[in-house]
Amino acid sequence: MRLLLVEDDRPLAAEIAARLLATRYVVEVSHDGEDALHLATTGSYAALVLDLGLPKLDGVGVLTRLRAAGAGLPVLVLTARDRLADKASAFRAGADDYLVKPFTMEELILRLDALIRRAGGHASPQVVLGDVTVDTTTGAVERNGLAVRLTALETRILGYLVHHLDRPVSRSELTEHVYDHDSDRDFNSLEVIISRLRRKLGTELIETVRGAGYRIPKHPA
């Protein structure tokens, strides 16, 4: 899934992006508030990780304008500001969660997982689809109680489809959210990966919706 990370400390932003990519997220990075607002209102992201102390437009300003524009994506504020007044200002502007620096990457990932899971309507991290169980927090997959090994790209594709159960996901949307900018985006390679997932998890799990892409039904046949 694609995240937007807004952090003006470039070395820190690069470190966070690399760690998130190593889990299962694809990350786009912005370093100022005006650019972040443009990206957040014109792009498609599963969540926004937002610093408050930004050049050009601060984080609260980004949040306020974002919510005024009707954007409903989950927002996790990541900042060194730990005063109650700063937290209250961020939450009033539309933040969904607030994490104070210094932080651990493990906590950041857990909080992001929870935000995205709730936004997708999943109360539990475990999603059961027939004989397949997907843990949306760890990315672990089981079939008939046995662990299934997936590649990083297979995990990202499956995770995105699981977070959008019953909704057809176009090939272009899927590639946008599972490939990073440095990767070759090829619909033919996407077809190959979908075929591998079907071999590993059952042909009935991922449906091809003619003219619309792929879908995982809530109750696979």
Q: What is the pLDDT of residues 140-175, one digit of tens each?
A: 899 999 999 999 889 989 989 998 888 999 988 888
| Structural domain boundaries in the chain | 2-119, 126-215
Q: How far apart are CA 82 and CA 65, in angstroms?
A: 23
Cβ(37)–Cβ(58) below 8 Å: no
pLDDT one-digit tens code per residue, 54-102: 999 999 999 999 999 998 899 999 999 999 999 999 999 999 999 999 9
Which pTM value belongs to this model? 0.75
What does the pLDDT read at residue 124? 74
Question: Looking at the domain covering 2-119, what would its CATH class be?
Answer: alpha beta
- Buried b / exposed e over 70-108, threshold 16 CB at 10 Å, is ebebbbbbbbebeeeebbebbeebbbbbbeeeeeeeeeb
Which of the 8 DSSP states describes residue 203? T
Backbone angles phi, psi at 97, to 5 degrees: -155, 165
CATH of domain 126-215: 1.10.10.10
